[in-house]
């Protein structure tokens, strides 16, 4: 391949121009024959490649070395600017890392302590942090459902914290993928003594769903005693425990399996055994159920459980009589009273003006004072009986103080 003529690459008019230092410096950075300026040997003109622009490195050009070149000054400024950018980026990265929530590996092992960290994050000032904490809690199988319910029962939290804890349970039960065995069980606990006098208490398997993991390792008639060492009190607990794990997780089952005796006299003996099984998914179970005789009611049970949790542990609305209509109470939720504060103040001012001007149909001074005094007291009761955010509480307290201030009938 013939090299490209130099006059086609760089015009002769500015190849050695004193204004071409920026072009030459750009080329020198990628010059394949570039050498340090203090190198012992300097290439000669004959060794220059055909595309050389005769920079000072390849082809020595007389230069005044008594002062630094413009190129070196520009490079120094560029390097200084890049270093400043890198330092700023490092500081920003460090501060950002400090603000990140702890990773799952950094959380305490104790599930109650882990839950306390999640609850604190659910009260963060940033919406994104609260949303992320909700999803992290839903995915964290180490914090079992019973610990969340225990916290909802015993702790005083803001209404948003309560709702987000319930939403985490809902997400875990109804949205996220869950582990599944693929068995059909008896609806009652099997409790008996085997032929060796050992007590057996568990859930008996009555059928196996084709295509699911249990089909390969379990048998019809097996009695499941425990999952990962945790026994069962009711048959539905089997499904709850399995759903605490992800699809693909391996769990250990303790099973009592009946086997024929060696003398073949028809006596069956139960033998305890431990089995490792890799879980399938609830989605896989649903697909298998479409073409089988089994109909899973797990989804309906989960939906019913979530509904009951919201009814039992969700924020309870309080009743507050609005001043414009004594007979129709209004519900109060997380938003302060669900009412427009400005409209309440405007109505108070209108009632006060009508009383002072003694307009026809206006209430008496005693009625006016009684009405708005009771309304102010209702606000204080609401504040005592509920846990509000700082902003909501400040709004209610300001409204109560404003009502007391405007209740004066002095002209």
Distance CA 63, CA 65 (A): 6
What pLDDT score was predicted for residue 275? 92
Average pLDDT for 48-69: 47
What confidence tens digit (pLDDT) does each residue in 286-298 have? 777 665 444 456 7
More confident residue, 382 or 113: 113
What pLDDT score was predicted for residue 44? 46
Mean residue pLDDT of the chain comes to 72
What pLDDT score was predicted for residue 255? 92
Place of tokens 């909802």: 152
Neighbours of 172 (CB within 10 A): 24
Identify the CATH class of 179-287: mainly beta
What pLDDT score was predicted for residue 34? 44
Per-residue pLDDT band for 280 (boundaries 50, 70, 90) equals confident
User: What CA dihedral angle connects 400, 345, 158 and 306, to 10 degrees?
Assistant: 130
User: What CA dihedral angle connects 47, 53, 58 and 63, to 10 degrees?
Assistant: 140
More confident residue, 219 or 44: 219
What pLDDT score was predicted for residue 261? 56
Average pLDDT for 233-255: 86
What pLDDT score was predicted for residue 378? 79
What confidence tens digit (pLDDT) does each residue in 314-336 have? 876 554 444 554 444 444 443 34
Phi, psi of 30 (to 5 degrees): -115, 15
What confidence tens digit (pLDDT) does each residue in 162-189 have? 889 999 999 888 888 888 888 888 888 8
More confident residue, 320 or 228: 228
Q: Say if CB 149 and CB 111 are below 8 A apart.
A: no
Per-residue pLDDT band for 33 (boundaries 50, 70, 90) equals very low
Q: Say if CB 227 and CB 274 are below 8 A apart.
A: no
Whole-number percent of the chain with pLDDT over 90 = 11
User: How is 370-401 classified by DSSP, letter by letter?
Assistant: HHHHHHHHHHHHHHHHS---HHHHHHHHHHHH
What pLDDT score was predicted for residue 377? 81
Confidence check: pLDDT of 403 > 80: yes
Range of weakest confidence among 16-20, 245-249, 304-308: 16-20
Average pLDDT for 36-65: 46
Average pLDDT for 376-401: 76
Alpha carbon 280 to chain centroid, angstroms: 25
Range of weakest confidence among 74-88, 154-168, 222-236: 74-88
Alpha helices in 202-292 (DSSP H): 214-217, 236-242, 282-290
What confidence tens digit (pLDDT) does each residue in 260-274 have? 655 555 555 778 899
The domain spans of the chain are: 1-63, 70-99, 104-174, 179-287, 318-406
């Amino acid at each position: 391949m013939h090299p490209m003529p130099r006059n086609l690459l760089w015009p002769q008019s500015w190849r050695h121009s004193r204004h071409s230092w920026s072009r030459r410096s750009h080329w020198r950075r990628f010059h394949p024959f570039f050498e340090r300026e203090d190198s012992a040997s300097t290439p000669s003109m004959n060794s220059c490649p055909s595309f050389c622009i005769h920079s000072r490195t390849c082809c020595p050009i007389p230069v005044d070395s008594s002062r630094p070149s413009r190129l070196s000054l520009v490079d120094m400024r560029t390097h200084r600017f890049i270093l400043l950018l890198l330092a700023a980026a490092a500081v920003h990265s460090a501060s950002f890392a400090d603000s990140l929530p702890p990773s799952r590996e950094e959380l305490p092992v104790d599930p109650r302590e882990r839950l306390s960290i999640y609850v604190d994050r659910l009260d963060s000032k940033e919406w994104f942090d609260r949303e992320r904490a909700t999803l992290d809690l839903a995915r964290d199988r180490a914090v079992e459902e019973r610990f969340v319910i225990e916290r909802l029962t015993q702790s005083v939290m803001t209404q948003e914290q309560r709702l987000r804890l319930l939403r985490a349970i809902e997400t875990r039960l109804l949205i996220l993928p869950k582990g599944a065995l693929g068995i059909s069980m008896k609806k009652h606990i099997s409790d008996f003594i085997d032929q060796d006098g050992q007590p057996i208490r568990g859930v008996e398997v009555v059928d196996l769903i084709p295509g699911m993991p249990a089909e390969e390792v379990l048998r019809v008639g097996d009695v499941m005693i425990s999952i990962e060492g945790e026994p069962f009190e009711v048959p539905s607990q089997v499904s709850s425990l399995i759903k605490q794990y992800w699809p693909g997780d391996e769990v250990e089952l303790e099973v009592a399996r009946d086997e024929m005796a060696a003398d073949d006299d028809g006596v069956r003996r139960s033998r305890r055994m431990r089995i490792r099984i890799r879980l399938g998914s609830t989605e896989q179970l649903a697909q298998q159920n479409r073409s089988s005789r089994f109909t899973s009611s797990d989804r309906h049970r989960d939906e019913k459980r979530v509904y009951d949790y919201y009814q039992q542990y969700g924020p309870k609305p309080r009743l507050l009589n609005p001043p414009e209509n004594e007979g129709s109470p209004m519900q109060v939720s997380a938003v302060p009273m669900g009412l427009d504060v400005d409209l309440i103040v405007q109505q108070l001012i209108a009632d006060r003006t009508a009383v002072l001007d003694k307009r026809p149909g206006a209430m008496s001074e005693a009625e006016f004072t009684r009405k708005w005094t009771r309304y102010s007291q209702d606000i204080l009761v609401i504040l005592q009986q509920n846990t509000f955010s700082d902003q909501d509480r400040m709004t209610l307290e300001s409204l109560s103080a404003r009502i007391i201030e405007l209740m004066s009938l002095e002209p």
